[in-house]
Every structure is written in structure tokens, then in C-alpha cells.
Chain A
Amino acid sequence: MKRSLLAFVLVGTAFLAVFLSVRFGSVDLTTHEFVSALFGGGTQAHRDILFHFRLPRVCLGLLVGGGLALAGSVFQALLRNPLAEPFILGISGGAAAGAVLVIALGFVAAGSLVLPAAAFGGALLAILLVFGVAAAADRRMDVRVLLLAGVVVGSFFTAVIAFILSLSEARAVRSAIVWMMGSLAGADWGNVAVVAGYTLPAALVLFGLARALNLMAVGEETAAYLGTDVERVKRIAYIVVSLMTAAGVAVAGVIGFVGLIVPHAIRLLIGSDQRFLLPLSFLAGAAFLCLADLLARVALAPIEIPIGVITAFLGVPLFLVLLRRSMTT
């Protein structure tokens, strides 16, 4: 598929996703109500819905979805492993352990900053552990050591979560599980700003590394021979991706599949040149998560489905169709 056509389609999809997401929900706005509220008219209730709930939520969806897809793409190139996804180095485990801990201790009031702060702290702890272990084993951050350290640290935090939950009461267990499946319900302008502060600069840095990542996909030795400072690229990319992922997980929980499936889908459509793959994955991830959140809110309203369930339900069949198509052509 032509890259420009895909870019055009994705931008269109993202706009459509945003438009639908701000209009529909527990209260549906007509296009007229939406437009007048957007320009400061309409009723106070409509303006509140738009500016306090829908818009921050849509922005957060775009940022988190884009960030996850971008992170998955970069990790797949860096770890030279098509199974890599944003959480492969144990970040989700750390974040979830942090979140579950404060939920179990009952610290969590609605809109409180404690939950994202604890999740972010947990994610940072996981990152420090994984990179600490990998660096101690080999100063050059061997991919295999990183992957193993990531898996082991992730399992450790899973055990921590199980331990905490086994001591918790049923209500806390339920909210912990809902958190772990991911949700954008906690969106407000404050956490949108925080996630944007991590995601947008990270995206720019990573787009700048696209050529170097292309070379890394052929192998680190070759990448060095072709003029890449491999260790520097790895260090920057790991740190930037990890922080971006940690920020996303902290506010939206562990949203699976976006980071795995979106980069693959884009790769099947336009090939694996990172210069196009990274920005288009970001765009596709943003649009995809926005739509998934819309479905999560409206499909079984007033019940909100965990967004991780929607991303899996939507993403897996779509991905299988693409995979099948790529095998037959």
C-alpha cells in the first residue's frame, strides 16, 4: 500500500474517531450541540461534558494509544523480536504492582493523583531493576539479557500482585482487576498534560532515531559498521520508550495488544522502514485506542467495558485478517 494513502486514511480515521468520541457517550450530543458547546455556546451541562470529560478523555486516548504503538514498534526493532511489545521489559508488572498496592491499602479516592503516581513509581522501579541487572551482566546491554531480565522482573511483580490481592477484600480485588485491564476513565487535563509531556518529546526523539533503528534491525554489529553509535542509540531509545510507556500505564492502566498489533498491521501494509513505520504506527495507535474507548463506553452502556478487552476483541481479528492476507499474496 502507498504510504501517503495510508497516512491519509489514518488521519481521516483519527479525526472521525475524535468526532464520534466527543459526541457519543452516556449523553449523546447532536452535531449542533457539539459545535455550539465547542465554541462556548449551548448549555453549561453540554460544555462540562465536552470540556471536562470527553475532550480530555479523547486526548488521553490519542496520546496513550499512539505512545503504546510507537513503543511497540521501537522495541520490536531494538530487541529484533516481532513478539516485543511495550510491556515486555516488565513495565506493566511494576506499574500494576504499584497501583494494586495503593488500591488494596484503600488510598484511592476518585480523581486522586495517588494511583497514577504509585503506578508510575512501580514502572520506574521495574525499569531500574531490569536495566540494572542487564547492565551488571554486560555493560553493552545484551538484548537476550534484557529480555530475560524483563520477563523475570515481570513475573516477580505478578507474584507481588497476587500476594497483595490474596490479602485484600473483594471490592479492592475488583477495582484492581478493572485497573489492570486499562481504562481512560480517569482522564482530566492534568494527566493529559503529564502524558503529553512524556509522549510528544519522546515521539520526536524516536522519529529521529528511525534510520538508526532500521540498521539495528539488521544486527548490532552491522549497524555499527554502517555508522551507528549502537550503545548510544540503545540507551536513548530504551530510556525514552520506557518513560513514555510508564507515563501511559500510570494513567490508563495496562492496555494490551495496541503495542503488539498496531506496528505489525502497519508493517504488513507498508513494510518495515522505521521512518514511515514509527509515525504511522503512532497515528494508527492513536486512532485505534480512541475508537476502542468509544466502544468501551457505548457498547454496553451504562456498563463500561475495560478498554483492554475491546483492544483485544477488535485488534486480534483485524490482525489475523491482515496476517492471512500477507501470507496469501
Chain B
Amino acid sequence: MTFEALDLAVRYGRARRRALDGVTMRVPKGTLYAVLGPNGSGKSTLMRALMGVVRPEQGEVKIGGEPTRSWTRRALAQAVGAVPQAEHLAFPLTVRDFVGMGRYPHLGPLRPECEEDRAAIREAMRRCDVADLVDRDTTTLSGGELQRVRIARALAQEPSGLVLDEPTASLDIRHEMTIFRLLRNSADRGMTVLLITHHINLAARFADRFLLLSGGRVAAEGGAGDVFKEEILESVYRWPVAVRADPLSGAPQVTPLQESTAS
């Protein structure tokens, strides 16, 4: 499974500014690919365009080498699991039923769940550490619990690619680390993972490659050495930062500075 965008541009309605403008990226199989950038830089739009829920104004998006628009929704959902940033639950559901929705692309409208489906659901819940919540009502979950349940739903799809929009927002350290390790392990097992995140330091530690967006354009793309440069990050985030190697992991760590010391 690969994800690609070629000179991609997206415009919402009649907006004057494009949400994405000339973005090119390639996520090879088995890569944990982190998409970084300030709020409003087009990260979520990139996910929507890649997954075919918004139409590109220009350029092309490909999944597994095929243009996204040539996939049926069902085939795409069997191949790629996606967790959008926010969901509004209109009606209460149990965690079990919620995660079970991940089997929809395999079941279609009528076939009942079989042992294989139940096993996929159990495994997904185990990996996301939500097995204890199985009978809980989703509307009573904490923010962190809900995030993990939503990732479990995507894993229940048994996809070969995963796209996640800020899955660790509102998680505590333990669950943040659980999710990053889960994604790292998945990539090591050959899954292609595109992760949109604001946790740039954890991303630096766990991800293989990085895309830094700014105002809908690519500010930097490549390995940690290409992206984690003070002058690039400062101009993109418009805040002075220091980049140092983390003494424990060796990964670059970004520290925002007091504005006064830099100016």
C-alpha cells in the first residue's frame, strides 16, 4: 500500500485561497509518515483529498498506485482505515458495536458477522487497550477512551494502510505512547501509516518521514534531518524554537523558546 499526492490543489467552495496548493508527497509501503504543520495549514484537507471525500481542483491522489477516484468506497475501506479528527455521535452505541462498524466493508449490507469478524474486532480492541470497555456506551467515554475506540474501529477493518487525523489529541502520556508505539509496530509489520499530528516531538521519535505544511504548501519534506531545522520550523510556526538531539532517543526535539530571548 502506498499513498501519493501529485501537484495536489484543493479549494473549498468559492474560497479565494486554496486549502492545498501544489502538494506532492509519496508514502512508501511500511512507512510511518507524519504530516505536521500549524492549524489551518491543510493537513486534514490532505487526508480528505487522499481518501476521496473532497475533490481535487488540480493534480491527483493515488492509493496503492491507483487514483483514489477509481476505487469503490467499499474496496477502499477494505484497504485503508481512516480516523477523522472529530465525530459527532448522534445516538449512543456500545463500544463493541462501534468497533464492529469497522467490519462493514467486509460484510456489506446483509451478511452477518462470522467468527473471523469477531476475531478481528477482539484483536483491534486488544491492540488499542479498550477490551475492558466493550459494553460501555460510547457517549459515556472519556476523550482518551473514545480516541482509542475510534482507532480500534479502523484496525478492525484489517487495512493495509491507515490514515489518522490527530489521534493522540486529548490523550495522556501513557495512551499517547501506546498509540505511537502501536502505529510504529503497525508500520514495522508493513502497514503504511499517514499520521497527522501536533505532537512534533513524538513524531520525530517514531516516524520515518515527515511532511511539513504551511498555508497549504509544502514547507519541507523528507527525513528528520530535512524537516527539523530551526529556521524552517521558526518560519512555519512563526515562533522561535531550538532543535536539539534528545539525549535518550537521539531524535530531534523541538523546544519553543521564550519570545523575548529570540527577538
Write the residues of chain A forming the contact surface with B, with a CB cutoff of 8 angstroms.
76-77, 80-82, 208-212, 214-215, 217-219, 221-222, 224-230, 267, 271-273
A209–B81 Cα distance when bound, in Å, is: 21
A208 to B107, CA, bound (A): 12
Q: Is B89 an interface residue (CB 8 A)?
A: yes
In the bound complex, how far is the Cα of B82 from the Cα of A226, in angstroms? 8
Inter-subunit contact A211/B53 (CB<8 Å)? no
Whether A81 pairs with B90 at a CB distance below 8 angstroms is yes
Smallest Cβ distance from A140 to chain B, in angstroms?
10
Docked pose: A219 CA to B90 CA in angstroms: 8
The answer to whether A224 and B53 have CB atoms under 8 Å apart is yes
Q: Other than the known A226-B77, A227-B78, A271-B97, what 6 A-B pairs have Cβ atoms closer than 8 Å?
A: A208-B110, A210-B109, A211-B109, A221-B84, A226-B157, A227-B76
Give Cα A222 to B77, complex, Å: 10
Chain B neighbourhood of A225, CB < 8 A:
51, 53, 77, 81-84, 154
A215: min CB distance to chain B, Å: 6
**B98-106, B175-183, B190-198, B233-241 - interface stretch:** B98-106
Q: Which residues of B contact A81 (CB under 8 A)?
A: 90
Q: Shortest CB–CB separation between residue B165 and chain A, in angstroms?
A: 10
Is B104 a contact of A219 with CB atoms below 8 Å?
no
Nearest CB of B to A237, in Å: 12
Pair B90/A226 contact, Cβ less than 8 Å: no
Bound Cα distance from A76 to B76, whole angstroms? 27
Q: A271, B93: Cβ atoms under 8 Å?
A: yes
B107 close to A272 (CB less than 8 A): no
- Docked Cα-Cα span, A80 to B110, in Å, equals 22
A-contacting residues, B93-137, CB 8 Å: 93-94, 97-98, 101-102, 104-105, 107-110
- Number of CB contacts from chain A to chain B under 8 A: 80
**Within 8 Å of chain A (Cβ to Cβ): is B174?**
no
Q: Check A272–B104 contact: CB distance below 8 A.
A: no
Q: Chain B residue with minimal CB distance to A267?
A: B91
Query: Which residues of chain A are within 8 angstroms of B17 by Cβ–Cβ distance?
Result: none
Partner of B101, one of A80, A210, A218: A218
Instruction: Write the residues of chain B forming the contact surface with A, with a CB cutoff of 8 angstroms.
Output: 48, 51-53, 72-74, 76-78, 81-84, 87-94, 97-98, 101-102, 104-105, 107-110, 153-154, 157
Inter-chain contact A227/B94, CB cutoff 8 Å: no
Say whether, besides A209-B109, A212-B109, A224-B73, A218 and B104 are in contact (CB < 8 Å).
Answer: no
In the assembly, what is the distance between CA of A10 and CA of B105, in Å? Answer: 32
Choose one: A80, A217, A221, A273; the contact of B53 (CB below 8 Å). Answer: A221
Would you mind naming 26 contact pairs between A and B with Cβ atoms under 8 Å apart?
A: A76-B90, A76-B91, A77-B91, A208-B109, A209-B109, A210-B109, A215-B101, A217-B91, A218-B90, A218-B101, A219-B88, A221-B48, A221-B84, A222-B87, A224-B52, A225-B51, A225-B53, A225-B154, A226-B101, A227-B77, A227-B78, A227-B105, A229-B73, A229-B74, A267-B91, A273-B97
| Contact B90–A217 (Cβ < 8 Å) | yes
A262 CA to B99 CA in the complex, in Å?
A: 27
Distance (whole angstroms) from the CB of A24 to the closest CB of chain B: 38
Given known A-B contacts A215-B104, A218-B101, A227 and B74 have beta carbons under 8 A apart: yes
Bound-state CA distance A50–B203 (Å) is 75
Please give, as numbers and ranges, the residues of chain B lying within 8 Å of A211 by CB-CB distance. 104, 107-109
Known A-B contacts A224-B73, A226-B102; A218 and B89 likewise in contact (beta carbons under 8 Å): yes
- Say how far A305's CB is from chain B's closest CB, in angstroms: 34
Q: How far is the CB of B49 from chain A (nearest CB, A)?
A: 12
Residues in chain B near residue A82, CB distance under 8 A: 90-91
- Least CB distance from A274 to B in Å reads 9
Residues in chain A near residue B51, CB distance under 8 A: 224-225
Report Cα–Cα, A77/B93, bound state, in Å.
13
Bound: A230/B72 CA distance, A: 12
